Amino acid sequence: MFHDDSRDWWRHAAIYQVYPRSFADANGDGTGDLAGIRAKLGYLHDLGVNAIWFSPWYPSPMADAGYDVADYRDIDPSFGTLAEAEALIAEAHAYGIRIIVDIVPNHCSDAHAWFQRALAEGPGSPARDLFWFRQGRGGQGELPPNDWQSVFEGPAWTRVADGQWYLHLFASEQPDLNWDNPLVRAEFADILRFWFDRGVDGIRIDSAAMCVKDPALADFDRTSPPDLHPFVDRDEIHDIYRGWRTIADSYEVPRALIGEVWLADTERFARYLRPDEMHAAFNFDFLGAPWEAKALRACVDATLASHAPVGAPSTWVLCNHDVTRTVTRYGRAETRFDHALRQARHRLPTDPALGLRRARAAALLTLALPGSVYLYQGEELGLTEAEDLPGAVRQDPIFHRSGGNDPGRDGCRVPLPWSNDGASLGFSPAGAQPAWLPQPEHWAGQTVAAQQADPDSMLRLYQAALALRGAEAGLGDGPMTWLDSEDQVLAFSRPGGLTCVVNFGEDPVDLPWHTDLLLSSAPLTDGQLPADTAAWLRTG
């Protein structure tokens, strides 16, 4: 299943993101669990993925869907036990599937033992120095220590009973850790070893560019931040990941470090991918790019150019647990994605048929590009964003902290539809409690069972494309060559004689010379490639 040297699997892999709460529920409590995932490993093997990335599965009060971690060395009881996680890792390996777990270093949960100790021991204690506790401003310390704002809206400071304030760049239940404290660094080094020793093949690093803060905690203008940002991409952060790389490389088969790095500056982004730091980082420029030939080509070129000097593989992703699902986004007049625009675009008109057609073409484009690819659960089913969730069921802190103005991310986190069994479409067994988020009624026609039986379904397209990708030595990491094409067409070749052609225009276009049509996202029209369609051709 893997390309060439298994030590470099991360350079080529097709990686599937599992959001545990919403993948499959085995015990009937309405929440996905490890037993449900283990029962579906055969499905993921048959889909053709090389690795699974798990969103946080740790004990958590779930103030931010598990990214508020209370214990980094255990499994949340709603998901199962540590022994079940170890069994899952072993069973996945038996299928030839590697495992990536989420590590959240910027913050933990306010229920974490460290933070509870910090509250109990009070100002000036060593426990408080593990976080960013400060006195407030104003005559009685009644004002926050500075003007920093949370990523989730509102102040980035919360006051505790003794009058001090603590920093949280996300929700108030997620206190930021102080990475200037060597105890924090030692703790995470041990956490990495804990999971690597249990067979985990790599880690995905959440909010990887935000751990280090300006110790002066200076005010700044959010609309025009300084060149050296107070808490994003500070130079000192690279020492952390060089230390982690040493740990990852100490294993007989080195473990992979994959970063969530949101940076507009491609040169600074590439610094995280130097040979002694991370192996790979998510390509959010591609995820947010509009469905336009010129924009996507520019994004591909910029991505390859920024990765080449550091020898890192590119990564390609269309969707994840934080963004609007691809079918919904591509069905709108404005097809870009930006977190800042989510509120304005929520419930804008979308054409799901057009979105699905484009998402099918985008799948073939993405899987043909050089490097590794990430597939968010449900994208292989062509699921739409669940935009009509009632406010009463929404759980994302973004929704609540914005007073409901921002819909948040719950719409892409709705439990998967497996079959037409029961009220939860096979997500839970018969007689189960309702799923933790309700599924759209129209998903009844998009279940795994329905799509397995339909040779023209999105699922069958992904299965075919991933099978070809695994069989073609020229796919995955490696060179690509752009071919001359019309303005609204992208065409490129990969080693071994495979060519990918994507038509972004309104009219059908002629295909280049080829010996075989290997796969297309929609049927050809009189031998031509229709609008919003992609094809893989044998040209050599």
Catalytic site residue 147?
no
Full 3-state SS string of 218-267: CCCCCCCCCCCCCCCCCCCHHHHHHHHHHHHHCCCCCCEEEECCCCCCHH
Coarse DSSP helix, strand, coil percentages of the chain, rounded to the nearest 5 percent: 30, 15, 55
Across 412-428, b (16+ Cβ under 10 Å) vs e yields: bbbbbbbeeebebbbbb
Q: Give me 470's structure tokens.
A: 């695994």
Decide: helix, strand or coil at residue 326: helix
Q: How would DSSP label each residue in 351-393?
A: -HHHHHHHHHHHHHHHHHSSSEEEEETTGGGTPPP-TT--TTT
Report yes or no: 39 and 80 within 8 Å, Cβ to Cβ. no
Q: How far is CA 72 from CA 110, 203, 205, 291, 532, in A?
A: 13, 13, 13, 39, 44
Catalytic site residue 260?
yes
CA atoms within 13 A on the CB side of 149: 11
Q: Give me 211's structure tokens.
A: 């751990």
User: How many CB atoms neighbour CB 197 within 10 A?
Assistant: 9
Q: How far is CA 511 from CA 292, 458, 502, in A?
A: 19, 23, 10
To the nearest 10°, report the CA torsion of 282, 285, 290, 291: -50
User: CB-based contacts of 225: which residues, under 8 Å, 6+ apart?
Assistant: 232
> One of 64, 176, 206, 385 is an active-site residue; which one?
206
Across 42-80, b (16+ Cβ under 10 Å) vs e yields: ebbeebbbbbbbbbbbbbbebbbbbbbbbebeebbebbb
Beta bridge partners of 101: 54, 203
User: CB-based contacts of 243: which residues, under 8 Å, 6+ apart?
Assistant: 185, 189
Report yes or no: 369 and 300 within 8 Å, Cβ to Cβ. yes
The two beta strands, 516-520 and 533-538, are antiparallel
Report yes or no: 475 and 497 within 8 Å, Cβ to Cβ. no
Question: Looking at residue 320, what DSSP letter applies?
Answer: -
Report yes or no: 333 and 291 within 8 Å, Cβ to Cβ. no
**Catalytic residue IDs:** 206, 260
